[in-house]
Amino acid sequence: MRAAEWPNVTIQVIPFSRGGHPALNGSYVVLEFEGAPTIVHLEHWQSSLFLDDSADTAVFVEGTITLQDCALDPTRSLDMIEAAAEGYEKRGRGATV
């Protein structure tokens, strides 16, 4: 939750109740720079890959927009994280659920 206070960080949560979404295919990082092409980083078990061709990165940029639309807004996301953390604290660290 502290990271959400940084000006360059937006945290959004996709609850399980929202069902399937593009990120279920695997994680990726979209790196966007002012005055430079977008780069996408893909990491797999035994390798990683950087994509820099706009035809390749466009799919991930569009997927990110879809994820943002599926997710709770930043305020509701932080509320959900806070509620989960409070529940964790009430159960006690290391307790099984």
Total tally of structural domains belonging to the chain: 1
> 16 in a domain, yes or no?
yes
Whether residue 32 is contained in a domain is answered as yes
pLDDT digits (tens, 9 = 90+) for 62-91: 999 999 999 999 999 999 999 999 888 777
- Does 96 fall in a domain? no
pLDDT digits (tens, 9 = 90+) for 11-65: 999 998 888 877 777 889 999 989 999 999 998 888 999 999 999 999 999 999 9
Residue 28 counted as domain residue: yes
Residue 96 has pLDDT above 70, yes or no: no
Asked if pLDDT for residue 94 goes beyond 60, the answer is no
Q: Is the CB of residue 12 less than 8 Å from the CB of residue 68?
A: yes
- Residue 37, domain member (yes or no): yes
Q: 68 is written with which tokens?
A: 């943002």
Per-residue model confidence (pLDDT) at position 59: 93
HSE-up of residue 6 (Cα within 13 Å, Cβ side): 7
Residue 26 belongs to a domain: yes
Q: Is residue 11 part of a domain?
A: yes
12, part of any domain: yes
The span from the CA of 67 to the CA of 21, in Å, is 7
> Where residue 95 falls among pLDDT bands split at 50, 70, 90?
low
Q: Which domain holds residue 34?
A: 3-91
